[in-house]
Structure 1
């Protein structure tokens, strides 16, 4: 009833916003002021209510938040464990404000007090308080990010002390807090003094758990974040972790058809978590993962996983394919055609039902394209035939999948323009529409290199789509790559020259929207 009431209050606050505060706050203030320990339940209810309305009523509460947070910090020291745990949760609901305010000296002092209080509660004697404090700390980590760097020493000491006293349920939450810390501070955690505190107990636990123990899942996820954050710093731990992941994938693939021979019951989650950790290793170690891949069956295993009937296995396998191609494409080369045919198949088949699978397939194809370039030639049109329907029928399709498809098509056009350019007129309009929605970044640059390469080979294929192409070019706020800027300028000048010969330039350019026409004329001196 308490939890349902808090959830109801949360919904009221999101619907009615600050309107509820004149009714709510007098009830809360009276209960917060209670000094009588016999009525501690009323105080806890008031703290719970403040947490419930944190999102919906934040603007109305702003003038009072410094006072509220001060009260919550002291409530974390309450004699009653439920008051302590609820105070931790409610503080987490105001994490964003606490971190924002830390820019001022007063706010900094309060941020330190919140951090210190939560770290103390991590080591509380009550399991429920430990759980609430650990979850609240993970939320604060996400908001504070690199602001935690100066406090890493004390944070890691508390986390590792907790590691020694937590039991199974809370250990899972602790792994999450460690992984979130790695995500938050990134490479700052790659310091020998931090690794000496952090890694030995984690490696010890990793070695203790059997290949069928589900407590491996959160530890695998934790290692994934650590591998990405530590980069080359993870090298000394990489080989046993890599081999364990390979073994877990092999074991559970065998268990799928023959549990007796595998010695465990099949659980796809072991495969998914192992693939994700291998992705983290590939991302963190970069080319340093080559020697490990070379001595393993990973390419064969990965191909099996890319063809798996479970969508989440395919999703993680395709993500690993892209990460491995970036790190060591050479070791996948003998089977790249098979990988790409599978990826193109999933791009087509999963586009509506399993968006994440299709997205990862699309991204992996694009990464392969820019890594192996012309070697992609034999299957480029197979992939294009999967991309064009996504760009042409965007209704009901995921926006990121459409954008990813536009980037990947551009990359294919960049590396194999002689194959793709002759077919431009069949896809250029929907492709340019999709390019308009992509934010300025390196992937958009790749796509436009493809546009320029194809237009140079087949300018006639794009002339009837001149306006959509100009809108795509005009969607850039700023092209930072000077070479690409020059290339796009040459494409537009080329069209001006070509169309002027038949007196059509004024007609084509004049048909553009006035603001776009002005922007292009000024930017590219047309």
Structure 2
């Protein structure tokens, strides 16, 4: 080992605490507090490592606990651990890697991977040497211990296996040493070792290191040899590897595809679900790969029925048992309140709620569905088979209908509810790909599915909601185009889904709310005459839904607000939906996490209702300010090592800021009084420099919205806000994980600029340009389109206000700027940008000649310039360019640089 040695009393004390914390009935908080005190000793981690490696007489549970505690400590403390203590911990782990106890080896492997992540493999050459020795060892424990650690390294830090490690006076890439030995283990008599070796190489294949690329033929041959191995774990690894190769190098598998397809068809029917599931992934991979679909066509008559067999619930499926059990428990309660027209939402799973993740504000970018913290259901063979059928339908379209429809029709008539449920699942799965053939049967399908919404089985009701939602687009189209029949069909589906929103089963409620949101999104204004029924249902569910399902209910209401907008501001609609939401709002504390999705829902309502939201604005604005202030104070206390009154959670800051943004967007100048008498300004400055990118994202969104709604109240801090926006756009700050915050900072800078006076904006104008030009000049595809467009608009707005400061530099960015302006849609922001461009061209016309094509293409990108002043300005500029170039004898030369369509459009728009 090393020079450090433990004291016997210290070992006994820590072992006692580790043993006590596992005993039922003990004061765990007190014991954990004592362990926390032990962490103050600089060699505490050494004691844990000693217990792991040398505690042979201790219960394995105690040694495991020591390992888990060590793992957590290393993640936090490794950088501050001395070299001497690091050496001891590493040696202890290497000693324990071959321990006879599999659970102990498992925790040792976890610690090894954590150290590699924290300190790198190059700083631990002894680990690589021991890995090589263990992979060649006949000791099964040593072999499996090394493979377990290596698998975890591949999961957490695969790049470390390509970093050169000093060994014996020369540098070696670990993969060069490990890959050949892993391939040799494909024939190991030790089952776990063989399975782990396959799994590790499958993981490595995702990054395709050179060592594996050089051995690709051997890798493929070895996978083929294991295809009929008696170990189901090995066969599962074969399926995973082949699916991986189909994604990465489909051309290598092309000659073998008929045999692989046959193999996957057989494997998909195996009793081992792991093998069946991995083989089922092949069909989606095949359809997404660059492979000729003709290869698969002859197998469709066998493949589709096989997928549909796997789409049936098993008799003892956990999801079935849970749903049926909940149905029995809730049936009695549902009957008790049915007469009152309420729903029952008892949810024993609320105690297991996953964390809520706020959907922070964004500007000028596509909305994406963030994970809202709902419990994610387990991916299984049934869902994978349905996904495979879905993808097959997109490739083979109507060819699947003669195969699928007879099976679906037969199953719909069966007594077994599982068969009926799988048929409905299949109808939803093929909806997109087979739309052309199915839509002629839309009325018939709806008439078949609607009664299933009232099925006695909750999972049938649930899947029917989903399946109907898959046809939402066509249901809406029929309502708009097919006259009374289409309208009646749409109304019947809407009524059916609303009925399931009132269902007594939690799982059905979830499916119904999600389906309703999908239908709302597709329907838009079609919903306006139907608002009373929708709002009555949603309002009735608010007071009785469970915490988990309230999130989905709020989402349905938010989607409705986005779909119908100001129609929700009608007095009758307000009287229906706002009272239950206000009651919920008043009942929740400022730190209750159930408040978070309600804040998001109210944000959407504030935006949709506009001035009609004013009666609720003051209370909500003031509470949001209180929440932000309280959270920031708690964060400051924790950062200073002081006790905080609450546990700080950034989601509360984000949701509160977003609601204030919604109020600003909805009320506009109506928010002026509230902002004027609050402490918003210092809070906003603090949030715009918050360590969390998500908080900055919402803060800058609010800056932009307030600039539009009540800019005078920001005047006192406008300079500080501009400086913070500029700081947020430093190259080092623009990363994938911070992109949305940077995008909002860029947008907010433009909104601040356009409301500023030249003398206010002037000191920051060049700094803004210095930050935006690298974004505009970035290589194609390296920056999201949204931040490029925002940069082009903001640059134009700054140029419009401060043209003299920017005009001398126009030649450095004119081409990239015009290229970005070309893709922006016609609106007031584009007008501002071109007003700025025109202002710079007036002062420095020569600078644009080197970017003549880009300039003309940007001008031709307009469909219609509504701003008469801008149109006149651009017309004059182009005619000046033409006159000067004609007089210099260069007009024909510059004209030749343009595409004929561009010149033709310029001539039409600007009489050129």
**Partner SS for 1:427:** helix
1:451-490 alignment, distance < 5 Å: 451-490=837-876
Superposition RMSD in Å: 1.7
Quote the Cα distance in structure 2 between the aligned partners of 1:299 and 1:280.
Answer: 17
Larger RCO (alpha carbons 8 Å, 6+ apart) = 1
The answer for the alignment partner of 1:97 in structure 2 is 474
The answer for the alignment partner of 1:352 in structure 2 is 735
Task: Summarize deviations over 1:168-198 as a string: whole Å, max 9, x none.
Answer: 2212211111121111110111122221111
Q: Does 1:72 align with 2:475?
A: no
Task: Summarize deviations over 1:203-261 as a string: whole Å, max 9, x none.
Answer: 11111111221111110011001100111111110111111111111111122243675
Q: Judge conservation of contact 1:394–1:402 (CA < 8 Å) in 2.
A: no
**Partner SS for 1:461:** helix
Task: Summarize deviations over 1:297-329 as a string: whole Å, max 9, x none.
Answer: 111111111111111111111111100110111
The answer for the alignment partner of 2:327 in structure 1 is none
Q: Does 1:26 align with 2:406?
A: yes
Quote the Cα distance in structure 2 between the aligned partners of 1:164 and 1:119.
Answer: 16
Q: CA deviation at 1:15?
A: 4.1
The match for 1:131 among 475, 485, 510 is 510
The match for 1:108 among 460, 463, 487 is 487
Q: CA deviation at 1:370?
A: 1.2
Quote the Cα distance in structure 2 between the aligned partners of 1:132 and 1:516.
Answer: 51
Quote the Cα distance in structure 2 between the aligned partners of 1:170 and 1:514.
Answer: 58
Segment of structure 1 superposing worse, 55-64 or 69-78: 55-64
1:256-295 alignment, distance < 5 Å: 256-258=635-637, 262-295=644-677
Which structure is higher in helix share?
1
Quote the Cα distance in structure 2 between the aligned partners of 1:328 and 1:445.
Answer: 22
Between structure 1 and structure 2, the one with the greater Rg is 2
Q: Does 1:42 align with 2:419?
A: yes
Quote the Cα distance in structure 1 between the aligned partners of 2:902 and 2:506.
Answer: 62
Count matched residues.
523
1:300-311 alignment, distance < 5 Å: 300-311=682-693
The match for 2:551 among 172, 178, 181 is 172
Cα pair distance change 1:178/1:514, threshold 3 Å:
closer
1:437-456 alignment, distance < 5 Å: 437-456=823-842
Task: Summarize deviations over 1:401-451 as a string: whole Å, max 9, x none.
Answer: 112111111111111111111211111111111112222222221111111
Q: Judge conservation of contact 1:348–1:358 (CA < 8 Å) in 2.
A: no
Quote the Cα distance in structure 1 between the aligned partners of 2:635 and 2:822.
Answer: 45
Q: CA deviation at 1:262?
A: 4.2
Task: Summarize deviations over 1:254-310 as a string: whole Å, max 9, x none.
Answer: 222436754221111111111111110110010111111111111111111111111
Q: CA deviation at 1:80?
A: 2.0
Q: TM-score, normalised by structure 1?
A: 0.96
Q: CA deviation at 1:161?
A: 1.4
Q: Does 1:408 align with 2:794?
A: yes
Alignment gaps of 5+ in structure 2: 1-380
Q: CA deviation at 1:83?
A: 1.3
Q: Judge conservation of contact 1:227–1:280 (CA < 8 Å) in 2.
A: yes
Q: Does 1:11 align with 2:391?
A: yes
Task: Summarize deviations over 1:328-382 as a string: whole Å, max 9, x none.
Answer: 1111111111111111121234433322112111111111111124221110111
Quote the Cα distance in structure 1 between the aligned partners of 2:559 and 2:823.
Answer: 31
Cα pair distance change 1:85/1:424, threshold 3 Å:
same
The match for 1:213 among 585, 592, 607 is 592
Task: Summarize deviations over 1:486-512 as a string: whole Å, max 9, x none.
Answer: 211100111122223333233323433
**Partner SS for 1:440:** coil
Quote the Cα distance in structure 2 between the aligned partners of 1:25 and 1:370.
Answer: 60
Q: Judge conservation of contact 2:394–2:432 (CA < 8 Å) in 1.
A: yes
The answer for the alignment partner of 2:895 in structure 1 is 509
Q: Does 1:324 align with 2:706?
A: yes
Segment of structure 1 superposing worse, 146-155 or 220-229: 146-155
Q: CA deviation at 1:14?
A: 3.5
Q: TM-score, normalised by structure 2?
A: 0.56
The answer for the alignment partner of 1:339 in structure 2 is 721
Quote the Cα distance in structure 1 between the aligned partners of 2:632 and 2:817.
Answer: 39
The match for 2:463 among 81, 86, 93 is 86
The match for 1:151 among 526, 530, 544 is 530
Segment of structure 1 superposing worse, 480-489 or 137-146: 480-489
Quote the Cα distance in structure 2 between the aligned partners of 1:516 and 1:373.
Answer: 36
Segment of structure 1 superposing worse, 166-175 or 260-269: 260-269
Q: Judge conservation of contact 2:543–2:584 (CA < 8 Å) in 1.
A: no
Quote the Cα distance in structure 1 between the aligned partners of 2:561 and 2:828.
Answer: 25
Cα pair distance change 1:518/1:175, threshold 3 Å:
closer
Q: Judge conservation of contact 1:254–1:261 (CA < 8 Å) in 2.
A: no
